[in-house]
Every structure is written in structure tokens, then in C-alpha cells.
Chains A and B, each alone.
Chain A
């Protein structure tokens, strides 16, 4: 080929650079972008391996070689690049005659290997080995050996023009270095202000203190309807519990997260509630969301305690479509059955279902490096036109600022949509990570929803009998007020003292929420107080007659050890069961169970079928409603900073 390779020049250039010492090397590494290795980044020549692997393309049926610049083989066009079986056999024979070892043949390509001298002789070319910077496993930029020919401009291509192979083989591709895409368990270090998981998000949500108090989400199951879940080493290394992915209707590939959104945002849950069990429900086919309502229903069918959702549509006004009404009904049924449902409020959207009155609506607050809080200008906040009186959000999680909210460094699947699209650039426009390093900085109210779900899990562990409305109430009452900043410009609502539509009741405070939940659980439940009294009374029933048999000794020695007959006497001191007689006023009105309907709304109770209203046995010792109100006030007035 007439075009002389740039790589040779580049190699000369980098040989000079080498003499500049380590500083130049470091600079070159830093400046390396995250794309495929290019010859501009050539670092120098290298030793040629003894065996070189290559792929030959026999003459294609479509008449165009797959190696032609600009030609891309995909599922629709691949048939054009297949070859006639006779051509394939001829190509194999010629390669073998030239001394190559043929390893494999398909209707598309022939995989073979040989020594450098064989390649150079057979294809009348010259091979060079070059050290180029490339991204290896874990996203690190390092040098790797690339083999190239010097007779054309296409990387790694040997042309057959002018050789005896020209009639049967269109071109030869020299194999290129490849690496396991094993992501690092640690996020890449970046100098701009951002949060890490689990540490920074946990501190920001004031969850660390709850964890040290023993409340970590144990026994709570959170379903997350999202783009899927990829088993990133970040999760494995920390021992987080994740169930196999459930595919929603129309979703595919349960082991993949082609977008990366679900994988990344789920790390927010574990940051706040590390011991929950995550139940991922995938609602994506490739990079398209599909039938989110169907996926939500699949999540409900798993009987979780909590469902978190970081997606939605924008609905400024009613009436809702049939599909939206179905979604609204699914949420209502789930909440009525005792499942806590969290939805993101939106990033400038009039978020639906984020404005549904039964959900916990998650907005955004931004925490700066000095710990100051302000409303995120990336997050939605508004008064709903569809549900009159409904303020969105209820409270907020940690969310970044415009333009891109690249705020929380989260694990994703290497090379997925978020990893590649958000990569590079300079913060705040880019996240400065590699395109396939399996880490990306992002947030949005998508991050807030799982944070609130994590906090809700801590509350449910602290007091399992709280209803979804009560969980929301605890979260809202204990949130830290955010008094400055303005939310998304689509709404332009400024935060002030007290609840507002900029951040709702403010930023979630998991520690205070857990303390408050524990207090509420100490209130003696109103509903099933008499049940414990019944079993102890049984031994006194006449038909049992337990006292008689022991009085008839069959042998002289036994009647002296009548262990069983002593038991019936114990229930005579029913100290504990009498407690429920004390009238207790519930702090929060218990949500009335649905009015009778013709067909029950079939939703399994959370946590495997238990209805929260039957869990009152978890109640602790009694406190009066007044006492609890007083204690809650004390918790709130303490006003501790995160």
C-alpha cells in the first residue's frame, strides 16, 4: 500500500520521549484517552512473539471485505460476509501449504497462526511489534504489544493484493491484545468533589450511627425495578446479598445490565442499609426500558418489604392514560398490602409515578465538601396537578448539581451505556473516568430513591409493624431541613425554613429515623393485645386433667419427680399480658384497610406473605403516646450534624 504507516514515525517520536525519563512517561499516561489504542500513542518497538495469531477472511459472498474501512458487520449484514465452502477450503489449503497452522474455520473466517517469517514471506509484507498504551483489565492505562504490518493504513491488517492469496482471501487481521474486563472493587480516584459508596453516602444520609447501633437492614428485602444488575466485584467484595435477577415481562439477559443504571444506583441502597437482601427486577431489553408496570408487578409478586424505583415519565396534567392508571393501581395495591414503595421525583420531570400519593417521593439535596446542604438544581419539586394537594417530593436524598449531576462514583458494568457515555471530559461535564473501567459518576433523583429505600429498610428493621404511611412519616419528620438553594429550573422553587417543594422535608437522616422508629415500636399495639393471655389458661381446662396420672405411680420411684404437673401453675401470674389493657393512642392514624371489594387485590404481604398488621408481636415494652412524642421531640431537637 502506498500509505506509509504513521506508526513508524510515532514509534520514533516516542523513543525520543523515552529519553525524557519518568516524568514524560507519566505525562503521556495521564493524557491517554480512553479510546482504543491509536498509533499516536505508540511508545516504542518491542520484541516479536514466536507465534502470531491471525484471522483470514475468505472471499465474501457480498463482494465486500469485512476489513474494508467503514464497513461494519452486524446481525443484519453479517450474511454478506460469509464465504462459499469451496472458497473456504481453498483458503485453508493455501494457508497450510504456506506452513501456517489452521486452528479453526467458520463460514466467516479462518483462524490460524504462524511465525513472523511465514507471514512476511507468504503475504509479502513486513511485521513490526509496537508497545502502545491501552486500557487493560480494571481500566488501567498500560503498555501492550501490538503487531502490525507496514503496508497499509488499517491497524493490524495484512493485505493480500499482489500475493497468490489475493483470489481467495480478502485480508488478514492480526490478533490484537485483549484483557479480562475485571473491574476494580475500588472506584478510580478523582480530584473533583464527589461522593463514594458506601462511605460518603452512608455518612451523608447519617446512616453510620444507625449501623453502629446494630440497625443495618437485616431481614429486610428490597426489590429494585431498574435496568438490571451486574455482579460487579464491588458488591461481591463487601458481601452484599443480592438475589438472582428477576426478568420483568419483555426483559432479557438476566446477567447483564446494558445500561448500568440499576447496578450503580443499587449501591446507594447498600450504603444506607448494608444487610438488606436486594431483589433486582430487570425492566430492560438492551438499553430500552420495557413494560415498567409489568416489571413493578413482578416485584410486588416477590413479596418484598420495599420496592424502589428510579424512573418515570413526565405528567404535568391529567387525565392519566390507561397505562398510567394501571401503574397507579399497582402502586396503590402494593402499598395497601404493606409494601413501602419509593419513587424518584424526576430530574426536571413532572415525575410520575413520583407524584403518586401513596409513594415516598424522593427529591434531591446537595451536600458540599464542607457538609453544607442546599437544594439540588437537578431535582424536581412541584405541587401535583394530577393529585391535588400532593407535594413532591416528600424528602430528599443526596443528588448532584447541574449540568450533569456527576456526583456519586458508582459501580457499573464495564463498557455499558453509562460507563461509555459519561466517560471522559472534565468535571462537571464529564466524570473523568475511563469508558470501560466499570465505574461512573452519576446521581439524579435516581440516587435519592434507593437511599430513601435503604433508610426505610432500617426503619422496618427497627419497627417491623410500621405501615408504609408510618414509615414515610418517620422519614419526613426526622429529615434535616434544607434551607437554601433552588430546585430544577423547570420549577425554580427555592428552599426555605420548613417543608417546601424544593426538597420536601429535607435530607434523609437515617439515624434519627431509626431512633424514632424504635420509639414508636415501643408503643403497645392497639390491635392484638389479648392473644397472649389465651395459651396459659389452657392447662386449667377440665378435659386435660393433667394432675391425675402422676398421682398414680406405676413404680415406687417415679411419682416423686412429677415435672409436668408443675407447669400449669405458672400462668397464674400473668404480669405481661395485662399490659395491653392500658389504652394507647396510636401516634399516626393507622391506614384503614381497604374497603371491601368484590375481588381482593391480590398482593402477597411483604417479607413473604406476612401482613404488617399481624406483626404487632414485635412491639416492645409500653410507652405512652405522650412519652413517645416527648422522646421524639428530644431526638429532633438535638439537631446533630451528620
Chain B
């Protein structure tokens, strides 16, 4: 299905107390950037491994800034906090649409789901390759078949 979300109020909003969650992607020790890299699988993931200690430092930095930190798996870990914490700490405005998709903007510029790292305080961008909310995801049960994208 495309089982779509239904939040109260169909328009994008910025509810300060909503708990939001994003992914922190840790920078690869090899210098390999995600942009331009082939899609990662088990044969290529090693090239994206971080340097020893970077993960812990990044997790600690986000924990110190009021985020709940999830386990590091693959190349990323999750952070969660009220919307207001994200906005305050990352220097961006967030809006959540009816499907729960978070959009990032700053000074009138829309950045999609990714937080521009140049707006993030140095302590939170050190060791970090990208900071991103998840794109829309749908459940694959039945109802309305998906349309071609």
C-alpha cells in the first residue's frame, strides 16, 4: 500500500515539541565521499569505514547537545530530539508534512531532507559526512498500487 500518513493538519508545520529523528553519517577514514560513490553494498562498505574513535566522538558530541543517540551501524547512527532542539542546535527551520517527512530550510532556502553542514556548529560537524532526515517511505501492504516515480 501506499499507506500514507495522516497527521492532524495536512500542511507542513513546525511543532516545537514533536520528537524528530535524523541520521548522522560519519566521515570515511579513506576520504571517500558519499557523493559520487557507487551505491553501497557489502563489497564496497569497507571504503566508507570511519577512523577509529570518530564514531564515539561524534556520538558524544550529539549527546552533549541534547540529542538521544542510537547505535552506530554501517556508516550512520540515529539522533532524536524535540524539533526545537534540532532547530536550535543545527541552525535550521524544520517542517513536517502529513506523511511525516521532514523538510529543512534556512534563510528562505529549502534544503530538502539534508541539513547543510555549514550551518551546523563545528562540534557537531566534526567527523560528519552528512546529516539527513529520511526521505518518504511507504509500507508495501495493499491498497493503492504505487505510481511510477
Contacts and interface: CB of A to CB of B under 8 A. Distances in A.
Interface stretch (A13-21, A115-123, A138-146, A438-446): A438-446
B8 A76 contact: yes
A335 B42 contact: yes
Contact of A297 (B42, B77, B147): B77
A636 to B, nearest CB: 28
Interface stretch (A280-288, A506-514, A559-567, A624-632): A280-288
A378 B142 contact: yes
B100 A293 contact: no
Interface residues of B, number: 73
Interface residues of A, number: 98
A288 B96 CA distance: 10
Contacts, number: 287
Interface string A305-328: 000001111111011111111101
A290 B39 contact: no
A421 interface: yes
Contacts of A422: 142-143
Interface in A231-266: 248-250, 252, 259, 261, 264-265
A537 B78 CA distance: 51
A293 B76 contact: yes
A444 B72 CA distance: 31
Interface in B25-69: 25, 29-30, 34-42, 44-46, 48-52, 54-55, 68
B129 to A, nearest CB: 7
A321 B21 contact: no
Contacts of B95: none
Given A298-B70, A322-B34, A322-B114, A417 B135 contact: no
B92 to A, nearest CB: 16
Interface in B127-148: 129-130, 132-148
A289 B70 contact: no
A388 to B, nearest CB: 9
A154 interface: no
Given A250-B20, A312-B138, A598-B49, A333 B74 contact: yes
B16 interface: no
Interface in B1-19: 1-9, 19
A335 B42 CA distance: 7
A329 interface: yes
Given A289-B139, A348-B146, A261 B3 contact: yes
Contact of A227 (B55, B113, B139): B139
B42 A332 contact: yes
Contacts of B72: 297, 602
A291 B46 contact: no
A369 interface: no
A291 B136 contact: no
Interface in B94-149: 98-100, 113-114, 129-130, 132-149
A378 B40 contact: no
A421 B71 CA distance: 35
Contacts of A298: 70-71, 78
Interface in A380-422: 386-387, 400, 402-407, 417-418, 421-422
Contact of A250 (B1, B2, B29, B80): B80
Contact of A418 (B3, B54, B144, B149): B3
Contacts of A326: 23, 25, 74-76, 130, 132
Contacts of B147: 348, 490
Contacts of B4: 287
Contact of B73 (A261, A417, A603): A603
In this complex, which of B35, B70, B136, B141 has the most chain A Cβ atoms within 10 angstroms of its Cβ? B141
Nearest to A324: B135
A358 interface: yes
A313 B9 CA distance: 24
Given A321-B113, A326-B132, A597-B46, A294 B70 contact: yes
A357 B43 CA distance: 10
B135 A386 contact: no
In this complex, which of B20, B42, B135, B143 has the most chain A Cβ atoms within 10 angstroms of its Cβ? B42
A581 interface: no
Contacts of A403: 145
27 contacts: A248-B78, A261-B3, A288-B5, A289-B137, A290-B100, A292-B134, A294-B23, A310-B141, A316-B148, A321-B135, A322-B35, A323-B113, A324-B39, A326-B25, A331-B41, A332-B44, A344-B140, A346-B146, A443-B142, A444-B141, A449-B140, A488-B145, A594-B45, A594-B46, A598-B49, A598-B50, A599-B29
Q: Pick the 3 closest A-B CB pairs, nearest first.
A: A288-B100, A294-B78, A250-B21
Given A287-B4, A326-B25, A328-B39, 11 more contacts: A248-B78, A290-B134, A292-B137, A322-B129, A323-B23, A332-B44, A344-B140, A378-B145, A422-B143, A442-B142, A602-B55
